[in-house]
């Protein structure tokens, strides 16, 4: 059985345990860029997770009753000799069915013909609650298909009465990476780490941020990654304090710190890595002080990247180190904000550290999955879930110092983030992005070598 087939079987087993039903999982819609040009197609992560099928205009249907075995049906584009000359190969239902191991396949254009039969007698319908681009058009279709069944109610057909969120079920599965997925994520992280090192070597004051972006993209594609996993951030100087800066069009000045947040996607799986380094290859005194502080906070969080530790412990540890550092470096005035515990409790650290310390990572860069345990009793505060083997998280503390009265001027306009990708395992954290230079010594050595 392929891993895709075993994931389908696992999902259907859960559906069966709930009394059975039909899951309908379309891939992503194609997106117009402008006029008659589309963005490069990126499949829906859930659809891909269950099929490995990368063509647009496809839909997976899984049907299983309260007992017995289920069936997996693919809807996809038909073969079309004329269009394949223009746009390239398509499997067509018969070939896709055989090559990808479905029980049946139909042309996507015949969905309206087959779907009422497929959903008849289903106890539940399972479909996306979280992706409006998928949910909205699908619900319109479901209305039509269910109405067709209702027209035949008197013949004794059962029309589904309950909808369940298939995204939630798949999120829980996707949270735990199997060996194949971990391997792909390691490859994505290794390529991305090389890209970061390449960017550091290539950087010279006077260059444009986009020239460094080009080095990243070159390394991604040259190494076989299909695409960046998200738009790269290449932010020099004050731009590093803009958290979602993607213009990447400013001139790099001598004395700038450059913050790069960039990762590639390999066979659907993302890397998400941030490094911050001096444009001229040497950290200044104040830059080094802030950098060492962020690095210390990252190592503190990393210490909690272990099986059994609650998800939020890493963040809390990073915040504690950063907050103490803010007091020590006089970024925060203890006469105004109080001591460490006050800074933490009143969240005064958010002036310089305003985001979380990480997230799940996988097919999506901010990957699917709940962060807290399921509700037990209505009023009870739900605990952060413990880390388990097979989860992949990022750890990405930072400091962003905007010019502001009372803040020592030598730190103004410095933005630093250090982000690694970590596979949680029984043997301890496996840092997938370990090849990207991280200590002051590693970064300065690499940059001096290339000058």
Catalytic residues: 36, 244, 261, 272, 355, 359, 366, 396, 400, 417, 419
Spatial strand order of the sheet with 21-26 comes to 104-107, 71-76, 59-64, 21-26, 124-127, 162-165
- Closest to Mn ion by CB, 256 vs 261, is 261
Place of tokens 């190494």: 223
Site for ligand GLY in 243-282 (CB under 6 A): 261, 272
Distance CA(84)–CA(79), nearest Å, equals: 8
230 binds, among Mn ion, ligand GLY, none (CB under 5 to 8 A by kind): ligand GLY
State the nearest-atom distance from the C-beta of 299 to ligand GLY, in Å. 18
Pair of tokens at residue 264: 């590639």
Count CA atoms closer than 13 A to 275's CA, side-chain side.
Answer: 28
Distance CA(95)–CA(172), nearest Å, equals: 31
- Closest to ligand GLY by CB, 173 vs 246, is 246
Residue (of 258, 252, 216, 255) closest to 240 by Cα position: 258
367 binds, among Mn ion, ligand GLY, none (CB under 5 to 8 A by kind): none
126 binds, among ligand GLY, Mn ion, none (CB under 5 to 8 A by kind): none
Binding site for Mn ion (CB under 5 A): 261, 272, 394, 419
- Closest to ligand GLY by CB, 58 vs 433, is 433
Q: Does 396 bind ligand GLY (CB under 6 A)?
A: yes
State the nearest-atom distance from the C-beta of 229 to Mn ion, in Å. 9
Among 48, 100, 145, 230, binds ligand GLY (CB under 6 A): 230
- Closest to ligand GLY by CB, 167 vs 364, is 364
CB 349 within 8 A of CB 318: no
State the nearest-atom distance from the C-beta of 431 to ligand GLY, in Å. 16
CB 43 within 8 A of CB 54: yes
Site for ligand GLY in 17-56 (CB under 6 A): none
Place of tokens 């992706």: 131
**How many other C-beta atoms are found inside a 10 Å radius of the C-beta of residue 448?**
10
State the nearest-atom distance from the C-beta of 199 to Mn ion, in Å. 14
Site for ligand GLY in 400-429 (CB under 6 A): 419
State the nearest-atom distance from the C-beta of 356 to Mn ion, in Å. 9
- Closest to Mn ion by CB, 150 vs 350, is 350
Distance CA(450)–CA(204), nearest Å, equals: 10
Q: Does 364 bind ligand GLY (CB under 6 A)?
A: no
Binding mask 96-135 for ligand GLY (x = CB under 6 A): ----------------------------------------
State the nearest-atom distance from the C-beta of 419 to Mn ion, in Å. 5
- Closest to ligand GLY by CB, 275 vs 320, is 275
- Closest to ligand GLY by CB, 135 vs 194, is 194
State the nearest-atom distance from the C-beta of 191 to ligand GLY, in Å. 16
DSSP assignment of 155-221: GTPPPP-EEEEHHHHHHHHHTS--HHHHHHHHHHHHHHHHHHHHHHHH--TT-BHHHHHHHHHHHHH
Distance CA(337)–CA(320), nearest Å, equals: 15
Among 74, 212, 365, 431, binds ligand GLY (CB under 6 A): 365
Pair of tokens at residue 225: 């990654």
Place of tokens 């180190």: 321
Distances (CA, A) of 345 to 182, 320, 325, 332, 385: 37, 11, 16, 14, 22
Give, as one character, the DSSP assignment of residue 386: B
Query: SS3 for 394?
Result: strand
Question: Which residues of this protein are in contact with ligand GLY, per CB under 6 A?
Answer: 230, 261, 272, 359, 365, 396, 419
């Amino acid at each position: 059985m392929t891993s895709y087939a075993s994931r389908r079987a696992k999902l259907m087993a859960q559906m069966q345990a709930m009394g059975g039903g039909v899951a309908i999982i379309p891939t992503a819609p194609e997106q117009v860029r402008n006029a008659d040009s589309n963005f490069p197609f990126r499949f829906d992560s859930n659809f891909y997770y269950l099929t490995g099928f990368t063509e647009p205009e496809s839909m997976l249907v899984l049907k299983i009753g309260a007992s017995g075995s289920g069936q997996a049906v693919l809807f996809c584009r038909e073969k079309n000799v004329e269009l394949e000359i223009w746009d390239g190969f398509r499997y067509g239902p018969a070939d896709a069915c055989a090559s990808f191991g479905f029980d049946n396949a139909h042309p996507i254009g015949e969905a309206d013909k087959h779907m009422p039969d497929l959903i008849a007698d289903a106890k539940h319908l399972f479909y996306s609650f979280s992706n409006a681009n998928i949910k909205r058009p699908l619900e319109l279709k479901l209305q039509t298909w269910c109405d067709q069944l209702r027209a035949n109610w008197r013949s004794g057909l059962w029309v589904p009465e309950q909808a369940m969120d298939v995204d939630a079920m798949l999120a829980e599965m996707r949270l735990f990476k199997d060996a194949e997925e971990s391997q792909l994520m390691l490859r994505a992280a290794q390529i991305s780490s090389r890209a970061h090192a390449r960017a550091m070597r290539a950087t010279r004051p006077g260059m444009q941020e986009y020239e460094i972006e080009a080095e990243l993209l070159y390394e991604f594609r040259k190494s076989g990654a299909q695409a960046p996993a998200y738009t790269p951030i290449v932010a020099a100087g004050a731009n590093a304090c803009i958290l979602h800066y993607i213009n990447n069009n400013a001139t790099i000045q001598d004395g700038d710190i450059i913050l790069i947040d960039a990762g590639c996607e390999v066979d659907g799986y993302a890397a998400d890595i941030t490094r911050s380094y001096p444009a001229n290859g040497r950290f200044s005194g104040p830059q080094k002080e802030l950098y060492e502080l962020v690095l210390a906070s990252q190592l503190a969080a990393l210490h909690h990247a272990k099986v059994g530790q609650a998800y939020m412990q890493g963040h809390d540890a990073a915040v504690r180190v950063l907050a103490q550092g803010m007091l020590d470096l006089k970024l925060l005035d203890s006469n105004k904000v109080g001591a460490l515990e006050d800074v933490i409790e009143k969240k005064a650290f958010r002036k310089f550290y305003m985001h979380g310390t990480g997230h799940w990572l996988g097919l999506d860069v901010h990957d699917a999955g709940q962060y807290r345990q399921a509700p037990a009793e209505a009023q009870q505060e739900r605990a952060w879930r413990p880390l388990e083997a097979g989860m992949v998280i990022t750890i990405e503390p930072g400091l962003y110092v905007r010019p502001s009265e009372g803040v020592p001027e030598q730190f103004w306009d410095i933005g630093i983030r250090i982000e690694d990708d970590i596979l949680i395992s029984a043997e301890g954290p496996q840092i997938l992005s370990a090849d990207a230079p991280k200590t002051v010594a590693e970064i300065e050595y690499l940059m001096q070598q290339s000058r």
